[in-house]
Amino acid sequence: MKNNRIHIAKHIWVNLCRFLLAGLFIFSGFVKAVDPLGTQYKIEDYLSAFGMTDWFPAFLPLLFSVILSTLEFSVGVLLFFGVRKRASTTLAFLMMLVMTPLTLYLAVTNPVSDCGCFGDAWVLTNWQTFWKNVVLLVAAASVFAGRARIIRFVTAQTEWLVSLYTVLYILVFSSYCIRNLPVIDFRPYKIGKSITEGMSIPPGAKPSVFETRFILEKNGERKEFTLENYPDSTWTFIDSRSILKEKGYEPAIHDFSMQELASGNDITDEVLQDSGYTFLLVAHRIEEADDSNIDLINELYDYSKEYGYKFYCLTSSEEKQIDVWRDQTGAEYPFCLMDNITLKTMIRSNPGVMLIKNGVILNKWSDNNLPDEYELTGPLDTLELGKQKVENDKRTMQLIFGWYILPLLLVLGLDILIVRRSERKRKNRNKNLINPLTNNKMRKNIVAGNWKMNKTLQEGIALAKELNEALAAEKQNCDVVICTPFIHLASVTPIVDAAKIGVGAENCADKESGAYTGEVSASMVASTGAQYVILGHSERRAYYGETPAILKDKVQLALANGLTPIFCIGEVLEEREANKQNEVVYAQLAGSLFDLSAEDFSKIVLAYEPVWAIGTGKTATAEQAQEIHAYIRSTIVEKYGKEVADNTSILYGGSCKPSNAKELFANPDVDGGLIGGAALSVADFKGIIDAFNA
């Protein structure tokens, strides 16, 4: 009862952790995919903080940003649906193992103030990020260790479709956002926002104090200046940056300041208060800007000149670079200098265009979809372009729901309707075929103990006596067998009541007799009075190299000596996770037993023991056990016919206890158990035997 409760609690815990991780990974991957350039900038910030900018080619941060969002989103979705458990839980665990110490380092050294985990959608401090990661690491370790408990929502037949579609979707989605600007804008420069309002500070709030530092060069020497000590014109401007001197109320927009290159004047207020249209060509680094659509940009400038609209190119590049751009593109528009980060925040395209009026952002275009002559057919106030663009939420919804959630729901619907239904039908068919009379089956129920390498001779004798006494008083509804180490056999066999308890060995040689030092033959086992022998136990397969061919010889020798083989089969965890359990047990059966005649096969007892459940405390669920037992029986039907299959006892083994025996044995195709640890205590073993009495 208590064990059962622990079992349920573990299931709940693992699945709670799995949904927590799934939710956060999906969210974090999605917001990064919405804004891949934002993540790229963040990665560049980190590289520059660590002085590693030159270590990697320029394209790498963006590539890494796309890979990261794809990985996070896909792992989240796989965890959510409970598919590809091994891959998804390992990846989640590995990611958290790397990220947690890294974010601790970031929190301590604070090279970049916001981690960027959730893009601009949810800004966390570095310490918040670290503690969030500690929680996620615990969750990731729990799902990794308890992945077998994750409940899957999609069948194995359709899981590939879900995984493949998810990866493809998020890759296409992030490429779309790179090409066409983020479909959801989390930044203060969202279409419809007023830059002036974004900059305003509520009455009474203390503003932050910033200082602009200018980097200038003269005779190869670079120096930093402030406005107070700005030098004469013999110095060349290189770069500028804002330094926070005193933190106060921080408005959403705090470093929007346009300095006209030609005049050196700050024209911010003039531009923001202008009631006419202003085009801002934003190219945070003009030397890195894409010039493939330069004709459209020049046309846009000509258009704005024609209708008397203002047009500025905003950049943070050096004058030298601006001149190169002018030469290369024939740019005639005026340039203004602005903070690099502000420019990158304004528009995720280099270059990109923003249209403002009265300080309000009316529209934004990426370099790839700039308005052309077919759209710019008259003055802006007569065109759709000149009105404030209504943020196209329908398009966003379409991209998310129409292209991802709906197709996925369709797959899930098909999965439930077709795949699951046909699986259920197949199972029912098998059940009817194999088990017409569940309560009146011809085969025996058996509870067999496997002592393994435990108990000295004296202890073994004592245990056997104790069991004998415990079973003496009442009648059991199943056969009871104890399989002991070789040296116990001769002593234990005469002690137990043969009418109640059978005795067996745990192994026998694959040779009849002869110079095989240390081996014990089937005939020797039989000579002790033992009637059974366990063969093919996973521990012997794994540790002593017993192959199907060796086991085949052992089975034949056991049968030839009148012993009943308790033949063990079962898959390891990786095989179960890859959904290969049926293939594995089939190969084990076919490799050692299916050459037997029907008559000989009828003498075999089978024990299905999933290796992941042996001695681990993890039991196969009653449903899992029934499913594979039914499958095993169906293979016998195919090979030897229904009668032989109906007569074959198939025991379950692997962390079987008094608390779960009843539920396991209640399955129509589970005919008892092969018990390890619990067979070493008479109380537990009897508890399991009694599962047939109730």
Sites of contact with ligand 13P (CB under 6 A): 450, 537, 609, 614-615, 653-656, 674-678
AA identity, residue 56: F
What is d(CA 17, CA 576) in angstroms, rounded to the nearest whole number? 22
Q: With respect to ligand 13P, which residue has the nearer C-beta, 268 or 648? A: 648
Q: With respect to ligand 13P, which residue has the nearer C-beta, 577 or 609? A: 609
Q: With respect to ligand 13P, which residue has the nearer C-beta, 408 or 675? A: 675
Phi-psi region of 654 (alpha: psi -120 to 50; beta: other; left: phi over 0): left
Kindly calculate the radius of gyration of the chain based on its CA atoms and give it in whole angstroms.
37
**8, 446, 461 from 685: Cα distances, Å:** 23, 12, 16
Q: With respect to ligand 13P, which residue has the nearer C-beta, 609 or 671? A: 609
Contact (CB, 8 A) for 18 and 150: yes
Residue 335, phi then psi, degrees to nearest 5: -110, 145
Tell which residue, 189, 526, 241, has the closest CA to residue 361: 189
Q: At a CB cut-off of 8 Å and minimum separation 6, what does 528 contact?
A: 489, 490, 493, 503
Q: At a CB cut-off of 8 Å and minimum separation 6, what does 515 contact?
A: none
Spell 396-432 as b/e; 16+ CB within 10 A means b.
Answer: eeebbeeebeeebeebbeebeeeeeeeeeeeeeebbe
Instruction: Tell me the two tokens of residue 651.
Output: 């025991």
What is d(CA 593, CA 611) in angstroms, rounded to the nearest whole number? 20
Q: With the C-alpha atoms ordered 134, 138, 141, 144, is the resulting torsion angle positive or negative? A: negative
Q: With respect to ligand 13P, which residue has the nearer C-beta, 116 or 658? A: 658
Q: State in angstroms the smallest separation of the CB of 620 from ligand 13P.
A: 11
What is d(CA 163, CA 70) in angstroms, rounded to the nearest whole number? 11
Q: With respect to ligand 13P, which residue has the nearer C-beta, 178 or 563? A: 563
Question: Which residues are known binding-site members for substrate?
Answer: 450-452, 615, 655, 676-677
Q: State in angstroms the smallest separation of the CB of 690 from ligand 13P.
A: 17
Q: State in angstroms the smallest separation of the CB of 609 from ligand 13P.
A: 5
Nearest 5 degrees, angle CA 380-CA 332-CA 378? 15
Residue 537 annotated as catalytic: yes
Q: State in angstroms the smallest separation of the CB of 607 from ligand 13P.
A: 7
Question: Which residues are known binding-site members?
Answer: 450-452, 615, 655, 676-677
Q: State in angstroms the smallest separation of the CB of 80 from ligand 13P.
A: 32
Q: With respect to ligand 13P, which residue has the nearer C-beta, 36 or 654? A: 654
Strand, helix or coil at 260? Answer: strand
Q: With respect to ligand 13P, which residue has the nearer C-beta, 605 or 614? A: 614
| Cis status of the peptide bond prior to 351, with omega within 30 of 0 | yes
* Catalytic residue chosen out of the listed positions 537, 546, 575, 629: 537
Spell 511-530 as b/e; 16+ CB within 10 A means b.
Answer: eeeeeeeeebbbbbbbebeb
Q: With respect to ligand 13P, which residue has the nearer C-beta, 284 or 540? A: 540
Q: State in angstroms the smallest separation of the CB of 680 from ligand 13P.
A: 9
Residue 609 annotated as catalytic: yes
What is d(CA 119, CA 31) in angstroms, rounded to the nearest whole number? 6
Q: State in angstroms the smallest separation of the CB of 468 from ligand 13P.
A: 21
Tell which residue, 184, 158, 132, 175, has the closest CA to residue 78: 158
Q: State in angstroms the smallest separation of the CB of 679 from ligand 13P.
A: 7
**283, 286, 301, 386, 407 from 313: Cα distances, Å:** 7, 9, 10, 19, 43
What is d(CA 533, CA 554) in angstroms, rounded to the nearest whole number? 10
Contact (CB, 8 A) for 664 and 622: yes
What is d(CA 173, CA 138) in angstroms, rounded to the nearest whole number? 31
Instruction: Tell me the two tokens of residue 419.
Output: 């795949």
Beta strands, E only, 506-604: 532-535, 564-569
Q: With respect to ligand 13P, which residue has the nearer C-beta, 132 or 554? A: 554
Residue nearest to ligand 13P (CB): 676
For residue 211, the cross-strand partners are 243
Q: State in angstroms the smallest separation of the CB of 152 from ligand 13P.
A: 24
Q: State in angstroms the smallest separation of the CB of 478 from ligand 13P.
A: 16
Tell which residue, 573, 575, 557, 570, has the closest CA to residue 606: 570
* Catalytic residue chosen out of the listed positions 546, 575, 577, 609: 609
Q: With respect to ligand 13P, which residue has the nearer C-beta, 91 or 678? A: 678
Q: What DSSP string describes 284-320?
A: SSGGGS--TTHHHHHHHHHHHHHHT-EEEEEE-S-HH
End-to-end CA distance of the chain: 16
Strand, helix or coil at 229? Answer: coil
Instruction: Tell me the two tokens of residue 14.
Output: 């693992």
As annotated, the active-site residues are 537, 609
